[in-house]
Amino acid sequence: MEKKINSRMFLMGIMAMVLTVVMTVSIYHKAFEKQQKEDIRLYGRLLQDVCENIDDYSQLAVYADEEMRVTVISAEGIVVYENNADMGIMGNHLDRSEIASAFEKGTGESVRESDTMGQQTYYYALLLNNGDVLRVAMDLDRMFSGYNHALMGIGVVALAVMFISVAFSVMLTKSLVKPIEKMAENLDDIDKEVPYVELKPFAAAVKNYNLQKEHHALIRQEFTANVSHELKTPLTSISGYAEMIENGMAKESDIKLFAGKIHFESKRLINLIADILKLSELDEGKSDISVIKEEIDLFEASRNVVNRLLFKAQQSDIKLELVGEKAAILGSRMQIEEMIYNLCDNAIRYNKQGGFVRVKVGKTDGKAEVSVSDNGIGIPEEHQERVFERFYRVDKSRSKATGGTGLGLAIVKHAAKNHKGKINLKSKPNVGTEIKITFEK
Ligand code: ADP
């Protein structure tokens, strides 16, 4: 990041500098040329005055500057005075544009390569009172020699500015990045010292992520402790009964009873492990409905569940019924049936003799929903929010006695969440319970 900011700042600096130099040089070039030509014309006008007051053009030598060519041309185009070249080799000058213009309008100027000196030259010519033309001229090289010196100066200054700007950009980037690096050193309290307002949402997101991570770690830790405890209890009693049989401490008549207990506890273990596996699958997103997406009719799914539980309900003297109509959703059939199964299973287990369990499927405002209601023991208000937590039970001994694992409603909650279903629980102790899942359209 530091490198990126540095190189970008440097590039921007260079671009700005090059642009400034190019523009300054071109403006300066134009202004300098204008000024130089103006000076040459002024010099010409001065010499014009001088010419009016001398008898012989050779006296011009006193006033002529050696950098400047001074020429006088007669009306016939013959060079009658020249300070810097041999007059003998100079031809007729009437065809020179500045001379022709001076004879015609009084003054004339031009820029061209000199026939005599062979260099690009600026000429300015003026008509004298006696009908001759005075011409002053200067090589462009000489004219711009001062300017070229100035250009070198500009180049040196530009280089110096470049080095200074590199140094500044390095310093500036360091001072910009340092607080961010410092912020990253303390991720736990990242929101405490946020150097720039723009980084506040980022810091808040990191903090939130950290909190969530901590929360998940805590839940996982708690879950592991609970699982170990839940596994240990049945295993301890299995081991105890088995040991008594092994040592011959169990009477002949007890052996059948103990075997029954071992059978019951091992079934509980199997159920528990199955539920843990289901939950961990839901956790890992293996059965995420984005992977398994099929059309499921809630009514048909409920009928399958009811058929599986009819015998259990009959045994407990509970009336299990299914009412309603077709209502389709998209998702995982296995998760949906598991969800309805757990709700019905609870409604049977936490019921009274002669009670009923009603599964109702339908649509409200176009949203598919399934509800399971019973007239069982109900859930006291203070427990209602917590029963969906893993291993949370209102009455532990009743849960265990009826083969509960404490994970049934946690699985319901997970499966509903995977299908974007909302859970609604209504319950009154000794009156009954209704749990309704409403799915998004
Ligand atoms: P469990 O395996 O113990 O039934 P669940 O997660 O399925 O675990 O349910 C958590 C607790 O919620 C149960 O132990 C029970 O106390 C209570 N509960 C669940 N369903 C009902 C219901 N229909 N009526 C009364 N209490 C219920």
> Of the residues 346, 356, 398, 425, which should be mutated to test ligand 1's pocket, given the most ligand atoms within 8 Å of the CB?
346
Kindly give the number of the ligand 1 atom that is closest to the alpha carbon of 408. 7
Q: Ligand 1 center to residue 409 CA distance, Å?
A: 7
Q: Say yes or no: CB of residue 406 within 6 Å of ligand 1.
A: yes
Q: Ligand 1 center to residue 328 CA distance, Å?
A: 27
Write the residue with the smallest CA distance to atom 4 of ligand 1. Answer: 404
- 17 and 60 part of one domain: yes
Kindly give the number of the ligand 1 atom that is closest to the alpha carbon of 435. 23
- 88 and 142 part of one domain: yes
- Give the domain-ending residue among 283, 298, 325: 283
- Give the domain-ending residue among 218, 251, 283: 283
Assess if residue 197 is contained within a domain: no
More confident residue, 346 or 175: 346
Q: Which neighbouring-strand residues pair with 403?
A: none
Number of structural domains the chain divides into: 3
Tens-place pLDDT, residues 14-41: 888 889 888 988 898 889 889 989 999 9
Assess if residue 207 is contained within a domain: yes
- Give the domain-ending residue among 283, 311, 340: 283
Look at residue 58 in the predicted model and tell me its pLDDT.
87
- 82 and 42 part of one domain: yes
> Of the residues 233, 276, 350, which should be mutated to test ligand 1's pocket, given the most ligand atoms within 8 Å of the CB?
350
> Of the residues 230, 312, 393, which should be mutated to test ligand 1's pocket, given the most ligand atoms within 8 Å of the CB?
393
Give the residue-averaged pLDDT of 413-419.
Answer: 92
- 364 and 255 part of one domain: no
Tens-place pLDDT, residues 70-110: 999 999 999 999 887 777 677 888 889 999 999 999 999 99
Q: Ligand 1 center to residue 393 CA distance, Å?
A: 6
- 56 and 8 part of one domain: yes
Assess if residue 338 is contained within a domain: yes
Assess if residue 106 is contained within a domain: yes
More confident residue, 150 or 203: 203
Assess if residue 194 is contained within a domain: no
- 121 and 240 part of one domain: no
- In this predicted structure, the answer to whether residue 287 has a pLDDT above a threshold of 60 is no
Tens-place pLDDT, residues 153-190: 888 888 888 888 888 888 988 888 888 888 888 888 88
Owning domain of residue 279: 203-283
Tens-place pLDDT, residues 250-277: 888 889 999 999 999 999 999 999 999 9
Q: What is the mean pLDDT of the chain?
A: 90
Tens-place pLDDT, residues 356-411: 999 999 999 999 999 999 999 999 999 999 999 999 999 999 998 888 999 999 99
Q: How far is it, in rounded angstroms, from Cα 177 to Cα 190?
A: 15
Tens-place pLDDT, residues 207-228: 999 999 999 899 889 989 999 9
Look at residue 286 in the predicted model and tell me its pLDDT.
58
- 142 and 221 part of one domain: no
CATH number, domain containing residue 267: 1.10.287.130
Q: Say yes or no: CB of residue 347 within 6 Å of ligand 1.
A: yes
Q: Ligand 1 center to residue 319 CA distance, Å?
A: 19
Q: What is the pTM of this model?
A: 0.63
Q: Which of 263, 345, 339, 353 is nearest to 312 (CA)?
A: 345
- 434 and 340 part of one domain: yes
Q: Ligand 1 center to residue 219 CA distance, Å?
A: 20
Assess if residue 98 is contained within a domain: yes
CATH number, domain containing residue 409: 3.30.565.10
- In this predicted structure, the answer to whether residue 354 has a pLDDT above a threshold of 80 is yes
Q: Say yes or no: CB of residue 379 within 6 Å of ligand 1.
A: yes
- 81 and 110 part of one domain: yes
- 321 and 270 part of one domain: no
- 343 and 257 part of one domain: no
Assess if residue 196 is contained within a domain: no
- 117 and 216 part of one domain: no
Look at residue 320 in the predicted model and tell me its pLDDT.
97
> Of the residues 409, 411, 428, 431, which should be mutated to test ligand 1's pocket, given the most ligand atoms within 8 Å of the CB?
409
CATH number, domain containing residue 76: 3.30.450.20
